[in-house]
Amino acid sequence: MWTYLVRKMISTIPIILGVALIIFVLFNMIGGDPTYQMLGKHANPKLIAELRHEYGFDKPKYLQFVNYLKQIVTFDYGRSYATKQKISSMIFNGVEPTLSVAVPAFIITTLMAITMGLIVAYFRGTWIDRIVVIFCVIGMSVPSLAYILFGQYFLAYKVGLFPISGYESVLPNRIEFVLMPILIWFSVSLGYDVRFFRTAILEETNQDYVRTARAKGLSETKVLFKHILKNSMVPIVTNVVIEIPLLILGSFLLESFFGIPGLGSITIDAVHNSDFPVIKAMATIVSILYIFGNVATDIIYVFMDPRVSLK
């Protein structure tokens, strides 16, 4: 296990370098000169030269790329063009608001989706299965913006169950502000997850070992929970673990509409202000987390399915 883990971590180095190179080319070469975007096309040439020297844009491209790699290793992405704040501080400050919504919503959605996937798989082909699938398709078809507008107008404004928007850093007061975003996240994600988990579970029901277990006289409940669920966990784990790195951004729309100062809101503001250092930092962080998420998935496979071997 440790040998495989070390080899896997070493193999991620060229992948990270490749991702870093792509991001660097997109933001530093294809995107044009950032100084003109900050100062305008008719800015003073002397001021442009000073700004290019301040941010290191006058250096050769390979030195700029080396400096970018140094930023990744040291987690020091410089300062924002718009706010002049340190980007690392902005990210650290935005992690807690994002995770306060993303983590509870993700855990609740995953557990509920697995439970409902088991239920509809148990009652496959019945009216319960059909109704759940229909509601899942309807829930997937409704845009997330519609859920947000419905929640803010009816649940918050008309009924007064939740605040329309806002955020409190103090934990007890924060709960009422994150409840509706969590509910909306749950409503948006549940349909897709239930259908995915249902498909993964049903694919195992026709396997030979399931027919053998039933032939031995095992109850349907025992077959479902002890055999089918255990062997269907590989695709389920894949879906769950790969989604975890993306939680760091939370939901762009949720944070923007509900005034949550998380990483999604920071990224949206950076896009509106053409704040490329912040966008580049967020793109880099999410890419690296996604790479390590795939490594974690491969390792978890061994514990979920003994047929998988690490080579």
Domain of 17, in residue numbers: 2-74
Q: Where is pLDDT greater, at 230 or 309? A: 230
Share of residues in the chain with pLDDT > 70 (%): 92
Same domain? 164 vs 238: yes
Mean pLDDT of 107-128: 87
Residue 169, exposed/middle/buried by CB under 10 A (0-12, 13-18, 19+)? exposed
Q: What is the pLDDT of residues 7-64, one digit of tens each?
A: 888 888 898 999 999 988 888 776 666 776 666 666 677 777 877 777 777 788 888 8
What is the percentage of the chain residues whose pLDDT exceeds 90? Answer: 11
User: CATH code at 144?
Assistant: 1.10.3720.10
Tally the domains of the chain: 2
Q: Is the pLDDT assigned to residue 281 strictly greater than 80? A: yes
pLDDT value at 167 more than 70: yes
Q: What is the pLDDT of residue 80?
A: 86
Contact 259, 174 (CB under 8 A): no
Kindly state whether residues 42 and 94 are assigned to the same domain: no
Residues 241 and 156 in one domain: yes
* Structural domain includes residue 116: yes
The confidence score (pLDDT) of residue 31 equals 61
Confidence band of 89 (pLDDT split at 50, 70, 90) = very high
- Tell whether 176 and 54 lie within a shared domain: no
Whether residue 290 is found in the same domain as residue 160: yes
In a domain, 310, yes or no: no
Tell me whether residue 52 is in a domain. Answer: yes
- Domain termination residue (choose one: 52, 74, 96): 74
pLDDT reported for residue 211: 84
| One domain for residues 113 and 158 | yes
State the alpha helices, DSSP H only, in the chain.
2-25, 34-39, 45-55, 61-74, 87-122, 127-141, 144-150, 171-205, 208-215, 220-222, 229-231, 233-246, 252-257, 263-272, 276-304
Q: Please report how many Cα atoms fall inside a 13 Å half-sphere around the Cα of residue 146, on the Cβ side.
A: 8
Residues 128 and 275 in one domain: yes
Same domain, 10 and 53: yes
Q: Is the pLDDT of residue 246 over 80?
A: no
Tens-place pLDDT, residues 99-109? 888 889 999 99
Lowest mean pLDDT among 39-53, 104-118, 136-150, 186-200: 39-53
Whether 96 is covered by a domain: the verdict is yes
Assess if residue 82 is contained within a domain: no
10 inside domain:
yes
Which of the four pLDDT bands, split at 50, 70 and 90, describes residue 309?
A: low
- 119 is a domain residue: yes
In a domain, residue 83? The reply is no
The answer on pLDDT for 139 being more than 60 is: yes
Same domain, 194 and 100: yes
